């Protein structure tokens, strides 16, 4: 029996059509899956982006900006009963922006040269404004393991505070507190001057509540001060005879006085400065 060429052509065409239809069906399903996955990913992203917008972890003094704020504080930092610095953390930025989710956080203290230690942690429920104030004292730092002698040996104390939320989102708030004595302090020094014709008295007056402090400059035999220095303007004969002069010096300032030595070979150390 002869085969019908037309029927063979129709059969071949039908087979190719079924294959093409199957391929198109698979492509359609795959495209649908890809599109569904795309929609799901973007929906999830939008959900978390929206949720994070409703998350607020703020402070009155600490900041999440790249530039860490620095605060100069006047405090008797050698008195363990007095707060060295105070700051607040809260779950709101203002009355219209309150964190919807609850949050958990930690507080860290860093002291240059002495390292970082965990100060404490806390949590706040969402929806309603809440805040917690922290007062950090010298005794708190000692309790964390910082050596008391190291904390009080310098002319100031630097604390870098970090408040970090770790649930449900991470946010880091930072601030640096430069703690100076409540009263201005004075330091002076004289470098080795053996073999030099002059000696130099350097005076530094630390910042304080007052803009100026009265300082007594004294010197012993072996050298005389440079009377062209503005600090000796109007010096009297009696002051020169007594080798002592009281002058007002600005706080947060440094000064230098040159003394002409009687004997260049010696190391003159007879000049001093003291707060009145």
DSSP 8-state symbol, 63:
B
Q: Are the CB atoms for 66 and 173 separated by under 8 Å? A: no
More confident residue, 246 or 33: 246
DSSP state of 232: G
Q: Please list the residues that pair with 98 across neighbouring strands.
A: 92
Closest C-alpha to 185, from 151, 213, 150, 227:
213
* Gyration radius from the chain CA atoms: 37
Side-chain-side CA neighbours of residue 245 (13 Å): 23
Read off the pLDDT of residues 222-257 as tens digits, 9 standing for 90 and up.
Answer: 999 999 999 999 999 999 999 999 999 998 899 999
* 68-94 confidence digits (pLDDT tens): 999 988 777 766 677 889 999 999 988
Rounded to the nearest 5°, which phi and psi values hold at 232? Answer: -110, 15
Is 177 or 25 the better-scoring residue by pLDDT? 177
pTM of the model: 0.54
Residue 197 scores a pLDDT above 70: yes
| Per-residue pLDDT, 74 | 76
pLDDT at 39: 44
Q: Which of 95, 90, 55 is nearest to 163 (CA)?
A: 90
With 50 as the cut, is the pLDDT of residue 45 above it?
A: no
Which of 38-52, 90-104, 206-220, 225-239 is predicted with the least confidence, judged by mean pLDDT? Answer: 38-52
For 143-167, the pLDDT digits (tens) are 999 998 888 877 789 999 999 999 9
User: Of 164, 139, 8, which is closest to residue 89 (Cα–Cα)?
Assistant: 164
- 38 pLDDT higher than 50: no
List beta partners, residue 80.
none
Given a cut of 90, whether residue 6 has pLDDT beyond it is no
């Amino acid at each position: 029996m002869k085969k019908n060429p037309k029927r063979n052509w129709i059969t071949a065409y039908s087979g190719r059509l079924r294959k093409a239809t199957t391929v198109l069906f698979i492509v359609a399903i795959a495209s649908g899956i890809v599109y569904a996955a795309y929609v799901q990913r973007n929906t999830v992203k939008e959900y978390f982006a929206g949720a994070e917008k409703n998350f607020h972890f703020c402070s009155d003094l600490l900041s999440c900006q790249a530039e860490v704020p620095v605060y100069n504080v006047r405090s008797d930092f050698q008195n363990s009963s007095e707060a060295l610095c105070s700051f607040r953390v809260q779950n709101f930025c203002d009355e219209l922006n309150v964190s919807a989710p609850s949050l958990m956080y930690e507080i860290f203290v860093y002291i240059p040269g002495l390292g970082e230690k965990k100060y404490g942690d806390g949590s706040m429920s969402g929806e309603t404004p809440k805040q917690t104030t922290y007062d950090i004292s010298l005794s708190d730092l000692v309790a964390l393991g910082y050596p008391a002698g190291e904390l009080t040996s310098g002319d100031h104390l630097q604390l870098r505070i970090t408040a970090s939320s770790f649930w449900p989102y991470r946010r880091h708030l930072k601030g640096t507190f430069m703690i100076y004595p409540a009263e201005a302090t004075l330091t002076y020094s004289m470098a080795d001057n053996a073999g030099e014709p002059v000696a130099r008295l350097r005076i530094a007056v630390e910042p304080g509540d007052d803009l100026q402090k009265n300082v007594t400059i004294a010197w012993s035999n072996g050298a005389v001060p440079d009377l062209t220095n503005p600090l000796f303007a109007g010096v009297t004969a009696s002051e020169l005879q007594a080798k002592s002069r009281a002058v007002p010096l600005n706080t947060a300032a440094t000064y230098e006085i040159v003394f002409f030595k009687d004997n260049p070979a010696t190391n003159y150390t007879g000049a001093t400065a003291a707060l009145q």
